[in-house]
Amino acid sequence: MNNSFTMNSLGDGYRALVIGASGALGAAFCEWLKADPSCAGVRELGRKSVPGLDLEEPESIARAAIELATEAPYQLIVHAAGLLHRDEIKPEKSYCAIEVDAFQAVFQVNTFGPALVLRHFLPLLDTQGAMAVLSAKVGSIGDNRLGGWYAYRASKAALNMLIKTAAIELARTRPQTRLLSLHPGTVISSLSQPFRGASAARPASTAARELLSLIDRLAPADSGHFFAYTGERLPW
């Protein structure tokens, strides 16, 4: 990895927090941030960290925020966790495949959990800091051309609404705060591996650097909007 990387919008000695740090993208975010000479420290959170944060255990989200409050404020918070599939859950090709249990599991990780992250971690964000939440282009209602993937699409569309709504609230009291919904593209990871397009996936390190550079370029006026890793603003 080329270590010449610096974020300029967060100030010298900024502190970063990565939620979902054990995943491919989360780990890559941590590596780049640790390589940034302007970064004073990176706190990594996940199911097996100390404290632990498991999006399927809501009480763990509140507990982790309480434990990290003494370290606050963070100038950067990146939420990099998500669920597309696992052994008993597969993206639906048809409405005939919709199952309540799978919907609940996907929404817990992609929507309900992040909603609680907003509740408990936005108070730990510096008033001039940035929080970026990884969404997905397939969560765009306006860009939906292929259909399918009902639970994942719906959970990410709901996540985008949460980001937009919270950004409106923040703009009233903390107008310099950036709250962003970001599409990382297809990244080489266990999430993308089984699906069409995986052959064209980018390394997690490449995607993480592109996303961090994008966060650095975006201004408070961009808060509450949905961006692809290229900088393109995506339709809701």
pLDDT tens, residue by residue, 37-48: 999 999 999 999
Domain count for the chain: 1
Question: How many CB atoms within 10 Å of residue 97?
Answer: 13
133 located within any domain: yes
Domain annotation covers residue 234: no
Tell me the average pLDDT of the chain.
94
CATH number of the domain residue 85 falls in: 3.40.50.720
CA 110 to each of CA 75, 82, 113, 220, 230: distance values in angstroms, whole numbers, following the listed order: 23, 5, 7, 24, 22
The answer to whether residue 35 scores a pLDDT higher than 80 is yes
- Give me the pLDDT at residue 168, please: 98
Instruction: Kindly state the percentage of the chain with pLDDT values over 70.
Output: 94
Quick check: is 208 in a domain?
A: yes
Q: Which of 29, 17, 3 is nearest to 204 (CA)?
A: 29
Q: Is 183 exposed, middle or buried (0-12, 13-18, 19+ CB in 10 A)?
A: buried
Residue 220 lies in a domain: yes
- Identify the band that residue 86 occupies on the pLDDT scale cut at 50, 70 and 90: confident
Place of tokens 């054990």: 22
Mean pLDDT of 6-11: 96
Confidence (pLDDT) at 88: 85
DSSP state of 71: G
3-state class of 178 per DSSP?
Answer: strand
Closest Cα to residue 134, out of 91, 183, 89, 99? 183
Which residue's entry shows tokens 């606050």?
Answer: 72
40 part of a folded domain: yes
Query: Tens digits of per-residue pLDDT, 101-147?
Result: 999 999 999 999 999 999 999 999 999 999 999 999 999 999 999 99
Let me know if residue 9 belongs to a domain.
Answer: no
Q: What share of the chain has pLDDT > 90, as a percent? A: 89
Q: What pLDDT does residue 97 have?
A: 94
Give tens-digit pLDDT for 135-187: 999 999 999 999 999 999 999 999 999 999 999 999 999 999 999 999 999 99
Beta carbons within 10 angstroms of residue 216's beta carbon: 15
Q: What sign does the CA torsion over 170, 136, 110, 74 have?
A: negative
pLDDT in the model for residue 190 = 61
Residue 236 lies in a domain: no
Q: Which domain holds residue 170?
A: 14-228
Instruction: Identify the band that residue 194 occupies on the pLDDT scale cut at 50, 70 and 90.
Output: low
User: Which pLDDT value is given to residue 197?
Assistant: 55
- Full DSSP string of 36-55: -TTEEEEEEESTTSSS---T
| Token output for 185 | 């593209």
C-beta separation of 226 from 183 below 8 A: yes
pLDDT at 200: 72
Instruction: State how far the Cα of 223 lies from the Cα of 236, in Å rounded to an integer.
Output: 14
Beta bridge partners of 202: 187
In a domain, 8, yes or no: no
Q: What is the helix (H) or strand (E) element at residue 157, kind and residue range?
A: helix 150-173
